[in-house]
């Protein structure tokens, strides 16, 4: 056996061992930011495991936050000339994907700007609540908000908020505060929609329709 054949055999055994170690966790789907060799895909496919390779780090982080590292089913759908992979049927999902389609790039950019504006406006409005609590408690607002945003950036801290009495960053679900805030958010969105329906003049006509289409997604997050 030549040296080249020996190297190929060692590589095959190494990849097989890595795949076997990975399969011990019994995954249904493997997502990697780097490349994935055809041999590794073969071993994973043979075990009934799907694989997605060369995913951007930002997308990988979003999937981790949305699914908590435990994803649901992987489905592929065709739109036009392109295939898209969808992760569906997740247990307790934390996010959703909005797929935009249009006749031209300019139209898509305009739709994307309008859609981002709505979610950004809602996010800014929601951020006013912990900021106001921090101000009322007399704590350092900038440091507290930075620490709160850092907590929210990591997985498992979606219930974290500011205690209105002490200014501390605590788990809202443990303090039985979440249900009150969730209802407040829904009421605020419903009130905004009601105002848009009443004040149907000028540019608000178009804004009302876009807001109503987005409210359902925001309320379900």
The 10s digit of each residue's pLDDT in 140-190 is: 888 888 888 888 777 677 788 888 788 888 888 777 766 666 677 778 778
Please tell me the chain's helix, strand, coil percentages from 3-state DSSP, rounded to the nearest 5: 55, 10, 30
Within the chain, how many helices (H) and strands (E) appear?
A: 7, 6
Q: Is the pLDDT of residue 218 over 70?
A: no
Q: Is the pLDDT of residue 20 over 80?
A: yes
Q: Is the pLDDT of residue 124 over 60?
A: yes
Per-residue DSSP letter, 93: -
Q: Are 25 and 39 in contact (CB under 8 A)?
A: no
Residue 131, CA distances (Å) to 17, 124, 147 in order: 51, 10, 12
Q: What is the pTM of this model?
A: 0.45
Q: What is the DSSP track for 124-177?
A: HHHHHHHHHHHHHHTS-HHHHHHHHHHHHHSTT-TTEEE-TTT--EEETTTTT-
The percentage of the chain sitting over the pLDDT mark of 90, rounded to a whole number, equals: 0
Q: How many CB atoms lie within 10 A of CB 181?
A: 13
Model pLDDT for residues 40-93, shown as the tens digit of each residue: 888 888 888 888 888 887 777 777 777 665 555 666 677 777 777 777 777 777
Residue 143 or 192, more confident: 143
How many Cα atoms within 13 Å fall on the side-chain side of residue 20? 6
Q: Are 67 and 93 in contact (CB under 8 A)?
A: yes
Q: Where are the domains of the chain?
A: 3-55, 105-220
Q: Is the pLDDT of residue 219 over 70?
A: no
Residue 178 has which token pair?
């979440």
């Amino acid at each position: 056996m030549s040296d080249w054949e020996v190297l190929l055999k060692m590589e095959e055994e190494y990849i097989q061992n890595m795949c076997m170690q990975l399969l011990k966790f019994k995954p249904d789907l493997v997502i990697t930011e780097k490349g994935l060799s055809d041999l590794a895909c073969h071993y994973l496919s043979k075990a009934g495991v799907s694989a997605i390779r060369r995913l951007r780090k930002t997308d990988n982080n979003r999937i981790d936050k949305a699914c908590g590292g435990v994803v649901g089913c992987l489905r592929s759908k065709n739109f036009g000339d392109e295939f898209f992979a969808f992760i569906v049927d997740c247990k307790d999902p934390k996010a959703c994907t909005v797929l935009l389609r249009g006749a031209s790039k300019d139209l898509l950019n305009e739709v994307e700007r309008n859609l981002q504006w709505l979610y950004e406006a809602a996010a800014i409005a929601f951020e006013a609540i912990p900021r106001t609590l921090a101000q009322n408690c007399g704590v350092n607002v900038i440091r507290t908000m930075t620490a709160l945003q850092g907590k929210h950036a990591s997985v498992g801290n979606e219930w974290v908020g500011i205690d209105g009495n002490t200014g501390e960053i605590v788990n809202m679900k443990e303090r039985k505060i979440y249900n009150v805030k969730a209802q407040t958010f829904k009421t605020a969105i419903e009130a905004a929609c009601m105002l848009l329906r009443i004040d149907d003049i000028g540019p608000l006509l178009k804004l009302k329709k876009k807001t109503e289409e987005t409210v359902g997604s925001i309320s379900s997050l």
